[in-house]
Amino acid sequence: MPLIQTTVPLLDLTAQYEPIKDDVLAVIKEVFDSKVFILGPKVTQFEAQAAAYCHVNHAIGVSSGTDAILMALMAMGIGQGDEVITAPFTFFATAGCISRVGATPVFVDIDPHTFNIDPHLIEASITPRTKAIMPVHLFGHMADMDAVMAIAKKHGLYVIEDASQAIGSHYTNSKGEVKWAGSVGDVGCFSFFPSKNLGGIGDGGMITTQNSHLADTLIKLRNHGAQERYFHEMVGGNFRLDAIQAAVLSVKLPTLEEQHRLRQKNGAYYNEHLHSLVTIPFVKPGFRMIYNQYTLRTPKRDALHAWLDQRQIGNAIYYPLPLHLQKCFAHLGYEAGDFPESEKAALEVLSIPIYSELNTEQKQAVVEAIKAFFN
Ligand SMILES: *Cc1c(COP(=O)(O)O)cnc(C)c1O
């Protein structure tokens, strides 16, 4: 009897929106009827909701996660001649923004277990030009922020959390305090790209901070550096969040905890069935992983990638080329071999479907396809 093959997408936005479709369409209509399309009450309402969720004093809605990072650097006055330390195993925007403000990205290798910046390697890369450290909470697992903050404090550096993949992620520190992504460093940068755990229906982002002085500066930067219209205290940009995005995000935020819970359940299912075949994601004790991605490792990655593609089982390589080896950063003078853990990760990682709405049959199909490959 021929097998009926289940195909599984990497992400299913139709399934995600089905249960909330009416609520989403209703708020879109509200925004349309109000004709307040940019900033305004919907954005203010979302910012208050998001600040409470992220356990921060200030949340500022902006145009994208990339712009959040760019604005954070601008607000700190980081530019020409300055260096910012970050990891090379991340999405391009992390380092792209450092370059865009005229500063130099200085890469530090990752911890191979969490894929996040290895704090033991940071101090050796600090110079008199270093202004900030930008840890990335990759795939939904926070970086070792206690260690990063201690180094930053000792050397008088800013810390910018790239929390684009980590809204709702947290860890418990040595004092027993729960620390949420975006609440630990000077600022946290979030993305509402549709594939993130909290995604909009277009581009959007957010900056969080506990510092009211930085918050004031960021609010001005978002609107061409002007508090009062047409009077510019600094050079900013158009980094504003649309009311429609904010309204939709306000509908979705109350469902986020349930989304995380379902992703964690899917992750546990994969862990149980795949641990003997591949290296499963590592979650540090005391850390809450929100599984923006479920990223496994195997030396047979390329063959597994092709195998799953052939069977229409969603999978993707995040990320295939570390940033120190990108053509646009050739002038920085890095070479293959400089960051062995990042380079090895780039050859071995594969992300498989983890979205909340995956059903049992789909999860089984993913597991069966991977098992069949290893047999
Ligand atoms: C998604 C992402 C960004 C950029 O966010 P956009 O909203 O797409 O601009 C930055 N850094 C990381 C790690 C990301 O995953």
Which CATH number describes the domain made up of 17-109+116-254? 3.40.640.10
Nearest residue (by CA) to ligand 1, atom 14, is 164
Closest Cα to atom 2, ligand 1: which residue?
Answer: 164
**Cβ of 205 less than 6 Å from ligand 1:** yes
Residue whose Cα lies nearest atom 5 of ligand 1: it is: 65
Which strand ranges, in their side-by-side order, compose the sheet holding 187-191?
58-62, 205-209, 187-191, 158-162, 130-134, 83-86, 104-107
Hey, what amino acid is at 121?
L
Q: How far does the centroid of ligand 1 lie from the alpha carbon of residue 190, in Å?
A: 7
Mutate which of 62, 91, 138, 197 for ligand 1? The one with the most ligand atoms within 8 Å of its CB, which is 91
What whole-number distance in Å separates Cα of residue 330 and Cα of residue 328? 6
CA distances (Å), origin 202, targets 125, 253, 272: 37, 16, 35
- Which superfamily, per CATH, for 255-374? Aspartate Aminotransferase, domain 1 (3.90.1150.10)
pLDDT for residue 218: 98
Reported as a single tens digit per residue, the pLDDT across 272-331 is: 999 999 999 999 999 999 999 999 999 999 999 999 999 999 999 999 999 999 999 999
**Structural domain spans, the chain:** 17-109+116-254, 255-374
pLDDT, residue 4, reads 58
| Closest to 370 in 3D by CA, of 285, 266, 273 | 273
**What pLDDT shows up at residue 3?**
58
Q: Is residue 162 lining ligand 1, measured as CB closer than 6 Å?
A: yes
- pLDDT, residue 44, reads 98
17-109+116-254 shares its CATH topology with 255-374: no
Residue 1 confidence (pLDDT) = 46
Q: Is 81 exposed, middle or buried (0-12, 13-18, 19+ CB in 10 A)?
A: exposed
The span from the CA of 187 to the CA of 204, in Å, is 17
Cis bond leading into 319, ω under 30°? yes
**Contact in structure between 35 and 191 (CB atoms under 8 Å):** no
pLDDT-flagged residues of the chain (< 50):
1-2
Cα separation of 132 and 153, whole Å?
A: 11
